[in-house]
Amino acid sequence: MVSSSRLAAILCFLIALAGGIPIFAWLETFPRLVFAAGLIIGILQEFKGRWHLKNWQFNLTLVPVFIWYALQYSNRNPIQPVVSVLVIMLAARLCGEKSIRNLMQINLLALFCLASRSLFELNPLFLVWLALLLLLVPVSLVVLTFHAQDSAMSFTRKEVNRVVLTALLITLLTVPTMALLFPILPRTAFPLWTFLNPTVAGSTGMSDKVEPGTVSSVAEARVLVFRAEMAQQLTPPYWRGTVFNTIHGSRWTRTATVPSETSVPAGRPVIQTIYPEPSSSKILIGFDAPAEIRLPFVRMSPDLVFDYQRGLGRRMGYVVRSGADGLLRTSKAINRNFYLKVPEGTSPLIRQLAEGIKRTGATDQKRLELVEQHFLNGGYRYSRIGLPTGRDAIHQFLFVSKQGHCEFFASSFALLLRASGVPARLVGGYLGGEYNEVGGYYLVSQDMAHVWVEAYIAGKGWVRTDPSRFATNAGAVWNTDQKRSLAARLRLLVDALDYRWNRSIVTYDFESQVSQLRSAGNKLQALEQMIKARWKGLLIVFSGVIVLLVLFKLRLQRFRHNQEYRLLKRFRQVLKTKYGPGLATENKGLFELAAATNDEQVKQFVAIYAAAIYQDKPLGQDEIRQLRKLLDELSASDDTAVISR
């Protein structure tokens, strides 16, 4: 047994928690402390006897807080003061007296607190909290309804269960409405707070330059960059982003004016949809070698680098068509000189090595193979620590330390190619990705950022070569056959949920609404045509349904009065056989019939039957038995009827 006031109080603390916890991380220190204190004081008051603090005293203390935050409010800082005031008000109500009015206010304030979370962040966790509140608030409302009627009321466990069940039903009833409203209501694809105060998003892990030798170690950051919805590939996929075509010293950068070329990705076309995480980047990434990205405001460079003018600041998705062979076919010759530039200060040892290759190999293809041979046999190790640093880092990597990460491999490889007369450039992107079977997409994180080389082979085109693959420990680094632990699988599952949330809730924007409406219109048209084509069949089906409905209704009515109907029918039948057909068929009342027959049993039958019918009472079991008995007697006493049968 639990009293209604105690139950209401417990519920209000739970609701306050469900409203307060989601917003807690975004609060300033003072409101955080006030909220925690309010909750603790409230619980202490509830369970350790009441403190004599009146509500108006709390309200009075709120006034300076209000004034303070009102002064804080500005165009640049519109959200924090409002949210802080909300939380402080909630805290004050939690400490105060738990009247019905206050409890309702707590419910409302908690809902507002949760709602204000969406100003800071939109993620699926919001849904969890919302579901919790949507369940708790109706329970609280039902309990409060009882509490309002009788404050001394108490609930048994069974009754509490029933209240919860009722609230659950209320919540469930709202679901169809929500589903109906979801496609219609206007929405935002990004948190309002970010929209008002754009925060700088993290970099993609793919920088705008490649400069090995600036740091001695690279930290791995497992931050999601994008998801790519597509079929799983047999080999770790390459995600092509940008191209670095110019080298200064040891630094590779991208010259915006790319010499014209006619590159077309070769191989079977692969269509994929990429959902990048919001970032400050403008480069659109695609699988292997993207040929086409279907998105407005996209600028394509001749070397197949795609820039999105609007930036990837908000959640979105785009469709990419790629070739899967890692080869860009060119129909015309390229500007070879542009891709053969080698910096002045290249170390003589490198030049010497390159000269050797140039002399041995006559064609681009041969020279490429020789460079590959050098890397394969050179004993280079892939490493993210103990990296060579300084201006001659490439020289150090090639001839001394022989260990480095992909940037070292790629830039030295490309430099060697260029020095030996093969046009080459660096490609920045990502390698690999964790395939999520649940969601059917690749998860690509920042630590998968990668740099590789495209070498130009005359008569063939740009060929992708990844020098990091020639490292002695390449197999260990890019081991794809790792067994996934349970935690990893769980993480993938959660990510799939997050992905679904972003795909179908957050990025469901005005365009999607319009397309949905349009498709609805199309479906309507299709329906119209379908009706035109098969109206006869539909008419038959429709009339069949109507007939069924009518029959069903009739049956229902009959069923309702079944007992009476059957008794009356039999009564008439009996009278007909006993007194001739003229009697019962006329439009006569029951008492008229009884008077006409002047039969004691008929009179009894009518008295019992009419008393039930005309007093709107259902016939009791005893009465029905009695009436049946009378009818049996009536038909049995009819000797002529027996003989005629």
Partner 1 sequence: MDISHAVKPISLLVDTLCTDHLQGKDEVVRLAVIAMLSGGHILIEDLPGLGKTTIALALAGATGLSFGRVQCTSDLLPTDITGLSVFNRGDGHFSFIPGPIFNNIVLLDEINRAMPRTQSAMLEAMEERRVTVEGTTHQLPDPFMVFATQNPSDQSGTFLLPESQLDRFLICTGIGYPPEALERSIISSGGIREQIAGITPLVSVNEILAARRAVSQEIYLSDKVVGYIHALVKATRTHPLVQIGLSTRAAISLAQAARAAAFLAGRSYVAPDDVKGIASAVCAHRLVTRAGQATNRGELLREIISSIPLPLV
Residue ranges binding partner 1 (CB under 8 A): 561, 564-565, 568, 587-592, 610-611, 613-616
Query: Toward partner 1, which CB reaches closer, 435 or 571?
Result: 571
Query: Toward partner 1, which CB reaches closer, 587 or 644?
Result: 587
On whether the CB atoms of residues 534 and 347 are closer than 8 A, the answer is: no
C-alpha–C-alpha distance, residues 417 and 350, integer Å: 11
Owner of token pair 């329906």: 527
We find the least distance from the C-beta atom of residue 572 to partner 1, in angstroms, to be: 9
Query: Toward partner 1, which CB reaches closer, 150 or 616?
Result: 616
| Residue 251: partners with Cβ closer than 8 Å, 6 or more residues away | 209, 210, 211
Measured between alpha carbons, how far is residue 363 from residues 248, 360, 422, 535 in Å?
26, 9, 9, 72
We find the least distance from the C-beta atom of residue 592 to partner 1, in angstroms, to be: 5
We find the least distance from the C-beta atom of residue 628 to partner 1, in angstroms, to be: 16
443: closest CA among 405, 474, 489, 410?
A: 489
Query: Toward partner 1, which CB reaches closer, 493 or 568?
Result: 568
We find the least distance from the C-beta atom of residue 619 to partner 1, in angstroms, to be: 11
On whether the CB atoms of residues 388 and 404 are closer than 8 A, the answer is: yes
The secondary structure of residue 326, as a DSSP letter, is S
Categorise residue 161: left if φ over 0, alpha if ψ from -120 to 50, beta otherwise. Answer: alpha
Long-range CB pairs of 248-252 (<8 Å, 24+ gap) are 248/343, 249/343, 249/345, 249/391, 250/211, 250/212, 250/213, 250/343, 250/391, 250/392, 250/393, 250/394, 250/411, 251/209, 251/210, 251/211, 252/209, 252/210, 252/211, 252/411, 252/414, 252/426
We find the least distance from the C-beta atom of residue 610 to partner 1, in angstroms, to be: 5
Query: Toward partner 1, which CB reaches closer, 206 or 590?
Result: 590
Query: Toward partner 1, which CB reaches closer, 415 or 594?
Result: 594
Q: What is the residue-wise DSSP string for 77-121?
A: S-SHHHHHHHHHHHHHHHHS---HHHHHHHHHHHHHHHHHHTTT-
247: closest CA among 107, 41, 34, 424?
A: 424
Token pair of 222 as six digits: 């497992």
Sign of CA dihedral 75, 77, 81, 86: positive
We find the least distance from the C-beta atom of residue 573 to partner 1, in angstroms, to be: 14
Query: Toward partner 1, which CB reaches closer, 344 or 616?
Result: 616
Query: Toward partner 1, which CB reaches closer, 220 or 592?
Result: 592
Query: Toward partner 1, which CB reaches closer, 300 or 613?
Result: 613
We find the least distance from the C-beta atom of residue 550 to partner 1, in angstroms, to be: 20
Question: Which residues are paired to 465 by β-bridges?
Answer: 453
On whether the CB atoms of residues 394 and 408 are closer than 8 A, the answer is: yes
284: closest CA among 271, 302, 299, 270?
A: 299
270: closest CA among 331, 327, 306, 319?
A: 319
Query: Toward partner 1, which CB reaches closer, 132 or 594?
Result: 594
Q: What is the residue-wise DSSP string for 182-208?
A: TTTS---SS-HHHHHSPPPPPP-S--S
We find the least distance from the C-beta atom of residue 97 to partner 1, in angstroms, to be: 52
Query: Toward partner 1, which CB reaches closer, 201 or 610?
Result: 610
On whether the CB atoms of residues 43 and 6 are closer than 8 A, the answer is: no
We find the least distance from the C-beta atom of residue 611 to partner 1, in angstroms, to be: 7
We find the least distance from the C-beta atom of residue 530 to partner 1, in angstroms, to be: 45
C-alpha–C-alpha distance, residues 225 and 319, integer Å: 16
CB burial string 137-167: b at 16+ within 10 A, e below: bbbbbbbbebbeeeeeeebeeebeeebbeeb
Query: Toward partner 1, which CB reaches closer, 534 or 560?
Result: 560
We find the least distance from the C-beta atom of residue 169 to partner 1, in angstroms, to be: 34
We find the least distance from the C-beta atom of residue 531 to partner 1, in angstroms, to be: 41
CA 40-41-42 angle, to 5 degrees, is 90
Measured between alpha carbons, how far is residue 639 from residues 280, 571, 573, 611, 628 in Å?
104, 17, 15, 30, 18
Query: Toward partner 1, which CB reaches closer, 47 or 565?
Result: 565
We find the least distance from the C-beta atom of residue 558 to partner 1, in angstroms, to be: 10
On whether the CB atoms of residues 343 and 248 are closer than 8 A, the answer is: yes
116: closest CA among 62, 42, 168, 191?
A: 191
Query: Toward partner 1, which CB reaches closer, 258 or 610?
Result: 610
- Pairing verdict, β 327-330 and 289-294: unpaired
Query: Toward partner 1, which CB reaches closer, 111 or 613?
Result: 613
We find the least distance from the C-beta atom of residue 596 to partner 1, in angstroms, to be: 11
We find the least distance from the C-beta atom of residue 622 to partner 1, in angstroms, to be: 19
291: closest CA among 317, 333, 326, 332?
A: 326
